[in-house]
């Protein structure tokens, strides 16, 4: 996927969300970026049909694993239950500081996860993916 304007960042660390947002804007200047510190709020957002979010555009989700209330794994389970029209336009990248081989393996084996990226989000990786 080379053209993308919707980005959703899901991480309980607001500093990481800020860094991701600034990094994305350096690579995709017209990006629409939505950040969530709780994964359940992101699921509600995807279901809501929020007028600021165009679900017909390609959307990238950067998803952390370890979060309170709803983990990244729980998010993926909830995402599975969403409407197919939503899922068709979404690509999920796990963005984590975990170097646990099991986390990486589970993420890469999930049909919704495109890749496993290490924090912090790197400009070079974004350029490789989206330009």
Structural domain containing residue 67: 23-47+56-124
pLDDT of residue 4: 61
Strand partners, 8: 34, 61
Query: What CATH code is carried by the domain that includes residue 114?
Result: 3.40.50.2300
1 pLDDT tier (thresholds 50, 70, 90):
very low
pLDDT in tens, 89-126: 899 999 999 899 999 999 999 999 999 999 999 999 98
Cα–Cα distance measured from residue 9 to residue 87, given in angstroms and rounded to the nearest whole number: 16
Compute the half-sphere exposure of residue 11: CA atoms within 13 Å on the CB side of its CA.
24
- Residue 98 located in a structural domain: yes
- Residue 3 located in a structural domain: no
- Residue 84 located in a structural domain: yes
40 pLDDT tier (thresholds 50, 70, 90):
very high
> Which three-class secondary structure state does DSSP give residue 94?
strand
pLDDT of residue 3: 57
Strand partners, 10: 36, 63
pLDDT of residue 43: 95
Cα–Cα distance measured from residue 15 to residue 50, given in angstroms and rounded to the nearest whole number: 25
Cα–Cα distance measured from residue 47 to residue 108, given in angstroms and rounded to the nearest whole number: 25
Q: Residue range 65-84: average pLDDT?
A: 95
């Amino acid at each position: 996927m080379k053209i993308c304007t919707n980005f959703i960042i899901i991480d309980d660390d607001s500093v990481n969300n800020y860094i991701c947002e600034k990094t994305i804007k350096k690579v995709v200047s017209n990006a629409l970026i939505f950040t969530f510190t709780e994964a359940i709020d992101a699921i509600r957002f995807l279901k809501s049909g929020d007028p600021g979010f165009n679900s017909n555009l390609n959307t990238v989700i950067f998803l952390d694993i370890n979060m309170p209330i709803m983990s990244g794994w729980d998010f993926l389970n909830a995402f599975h239950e969403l409407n197919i029209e939503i899922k068709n336009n979404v690509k999920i990248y796990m963005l984590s500081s975990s170097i646990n081989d099991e986390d990486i393996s589970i993420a890469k084996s999930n049909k919704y996860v495109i890749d496993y990226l290490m924090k912090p989000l790197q400009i070079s990786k974004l350029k490789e993916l989206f330009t």
